């Protein structure tokens, strides 16, 4: 019922007279002009306290089938979710395996269409209604710059971004690497920039030993790096450390976590490097301590 007393006895109300309303600058690069829903969802991918992200990627099955370490997602992946800021997966895995009560961001693998047995990147996109139904925080689309399906994959990103802006769901451009492409900063700077210019709110790419800062600086939106093939744990933590310290806003890591000798320890060590500025040595020590 309406509280008339509150209106009448208004001498105790605090209108904050003399206190200016603070401007709210959003914490992510290139995201200040986005709508509230976009920013809220980005805050489920990137931790607002550090501005960084630990994304647990386990979407590999959509092109590779039962990848090593992902044979039983319920056993291998679900125990890792508490240590990530968000998960990256297909809608199949999400519905079949991920507990709906979990409170992490969801990066949905939003494009699909071919497997490693044929030619990759000949993809279509999912219906936006399904992304909305699953309450996803971002939609990831493969973009194959310089590849056979360049135009098609860029169109996939453009259409995804159109839908994303309509419904307040960010898009992530995932830079595919063709077999004949050089994995250097020049290539990834081009690919990342093309994704951002075409509407991606996040870009996922690979770390380059040389000139990675140029890839970062040439991209107007946050970049997260993929982990790539399994490395020794210490080397994987070094990769995270270098990427973050050269400007990446996070890691979207799969095989170096779930194929680790101790995935639960590894994701905690990765988290400490990303969010707590642990050095690779400190992270590896943490990994070893947690593995005892």
Binding site for ligand R5P (CB under 6 A): 57, 59-60, 88, 174, 226-228, 252-256
Residue spans of beta strands (DSSP E) within 100-170: 105-109, 111-112, 124-125, 138-143
Q: Which is nearer to ligand R5P, 227 or 280 (CB)?
A: 227
CB 202 within 8 A of CB 228: no
204 assigned to active site: yes
Report in angstroms how near the CB of residue 11 gets to ligand R5P at its nearest: 59
Report in angstroms how near the CB of residue 68 gets to ligand R5P at its nearest: 11
Give the active site residue among 29, 39, 104, 204. Answer: 204
Q: Which is nearer to ligand R5P, 34 or 202 (CB)?
A: 202
Report in angstroms how near the CB of residue 75 gets to ligand R5P at its nearest: 18
Q: Which is nearer to ligand R5P, 58 or 278 (CB)?
A: 58
CA–chain centroid gap for 252, Å, is 5
Compute and round to an integer the Cα radius of gyration of the chain. 21
Name, in order, each residue with C-beta under 8 angstroms of 121's C-beta and a sequence gap of 6 or more.
113, 114, 142, 144, 147, 148, 149, 152, 153, 176
46: tokens are: 């990137």
* Helical residues (DSSP H) of 246-279, grouped into ranges: 255-258, 263-275
Report in angstroms how near the CB of residue 196 gets to ligand R5P at its nearest: 17
**Looking at residue 52, what DSSP letter applies?**
B
Q: Which is nearer to ligand R5P, 77 or 253 (CB)?
A: 253
Q: Which residues are catalytic?
A: 204
């Amino acid at each position: 019922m309406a509280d008339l007393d509150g209106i009448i006895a208004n001498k105790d109300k605090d209108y904050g007279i003399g206190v200016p309303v603070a401007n709210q600058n959003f914490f992510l690069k290139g995201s200040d002009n986005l709508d509230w829903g976009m920013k809220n969802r980005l805050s489920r991918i990137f931790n607002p306290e550090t501005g960084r992200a630990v994304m647990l990627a386990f979407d590999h099955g959509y092109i590779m089938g039962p990848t090593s370490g992902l044979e039983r997602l319920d056993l291998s992946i679900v125990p890792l979710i508490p240590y990530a800021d968000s998960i990256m997966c297909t809608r199949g895995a999400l519905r079949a395996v991920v507990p709906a009560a979990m409170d992490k961001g969801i990066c949905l693998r939003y494009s699909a269409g071919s497997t490693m047995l044929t030619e990759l990147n000949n993809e279509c996109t999912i219906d936006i209604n399904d992304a909305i139904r699953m309450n996803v925080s971002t939609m990831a689309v493969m973009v194959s710059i310089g590849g056979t399906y360049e135009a098609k994959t860029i169109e996939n990103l453009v259409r995804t971004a159109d839908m994303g802006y309509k419904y307040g769901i960010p898009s992530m451009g995932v830079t595919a690497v063709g077999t004949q492409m050089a994995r250097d900063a020049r290539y990834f700077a081009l690919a990342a920039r093309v994704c951002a210019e075409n509407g991606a709110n996040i870009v996922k790419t690979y770390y380059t030993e040389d000139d990675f800062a140029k890839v970062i600086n040439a991209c107007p939106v946050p970049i997260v790096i993929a982990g790539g093939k399994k490395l020794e744990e210490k080397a994987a933590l070094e990769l995270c450390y270098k990427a973050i310290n050269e400007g990446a806003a996070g890691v979207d890591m799969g095989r170096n976590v779930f194929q680790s000798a101790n995935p639960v320890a590894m994701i905690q060590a990765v988290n400490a490097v990303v969010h707590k500025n642990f050095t690779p040595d400190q992270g590896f020590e943490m990994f070893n301590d947690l593995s005892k």
